[in-house]
Amino acid sequence: MRTEIILSAIAAMAMAIMSASPATAKIRCKGPFQVVQGNQIATPYCGDNYLAQVARGYGSSVSARAIRQSPSKKEEICNWIGHDTRVQDICAGFRNDDGGRNR
């Protein structure tokens, strides 16, 4: 009986640890780059976060989630602030002027 209690406690602790693990696997961004094992990699997720951050600096209230979920919102923001050198690469293909050469 005591062994069953100990095994149950160990199983409960293991489940608690496993359920906590995804929270520690949060994506870390540095500007438009994702930090992966100390290296910086350009990813759409971090790029959209950065685009929203720069847009908020221009007075927008757009969220990164709104940009990720709506290509038209991303295009709207890129047409507005895509001239900014910080987001030109992120906005490539979304602009209606010369900055959207890939269209």
> Where in the chain are the domains?
27-100
39-42: strand order across its sheet: 29-30, 33-36, 39-42
- Note whether 18 and 12 are within 8 A (CB): no
102 pLDDT above the threshold of 90: no
Which of the pair, 50 or 21, is modelled with greater confidence? 50
- Binned at pLDDT 50, 70 and 90, residue 84 comes out as very high
For range 33-52, the mean pLDDT: 96
